[in-house]
Amino acid sequence: MARVSENRIGVVKALGFVAWADDHVSPEERDMLRTVMDALAIPEARRAELCASLRHAPASVAEIAAEFDDDVERRFALAQTIMLAGVDGEVSELERARIAELAEALGVEADELAFIYEAVDATYDAFPVVFTGETS
């Protein structure tokens, strides 16, 4: 049986790992982290703990990988990190490197990661309001 709670914590830690790619977490990234924690129903005490740890540095890829026991959740986490990286309109090379490092730790091959990037990009095209905040 999947450890749903741990997988969800892994998603948040993965997001923090990518958010820290440029050595700080932007306001847009903080907003997305909050939204994801709301959507995943992270309990308040655990949320406070995660936020406190993210103020200093991200979790290591080994620590993040240890949170997952479900392949679908691993891939979901990677898709979420790509969306977080693009929250400012561009996925930087630093963010791409972090995502690739995370994918490797999660056991996701480069060709599958490329597919996940394509799927996220297609989602942006299909639902631009959801991801960009634009109303047109």
Between helix 93-105 and helix 110-126 the angle, nearest 10°, is 120
Q: What is the pLDDT of residues 11-35, one digit of tens each?
A: 999 999 999 998 888 888 999 999 9
Mean pLDDT of 112-125: 88
Average pLDDT, rounded, for the chain: 86
CA distance 10 to 71: 12
Residues 50 and 93: beta-carbon distance below 8 Å: no
In DSSP notation, 60-113 reads PHHHHHHT---HHHHHHHHHHHHHHHTTTS---HHHHHHHHHHHHHTT--HHHH
- Check: CB of residue 62 under 8 Å from CB of residue 107: no
The pLDDT value recorded for residue 5 is 67
Please determine, for residue 126, whether its predicted confidence score (pLDDT) is greater than 70. no
**Global confidence as pTM:** 0.85
Per-residue confidence at 42, pLDDT binned at 50, 70, 90? very high
In order of their start, the domains of the chain are: 4-126 (1.10.3680)
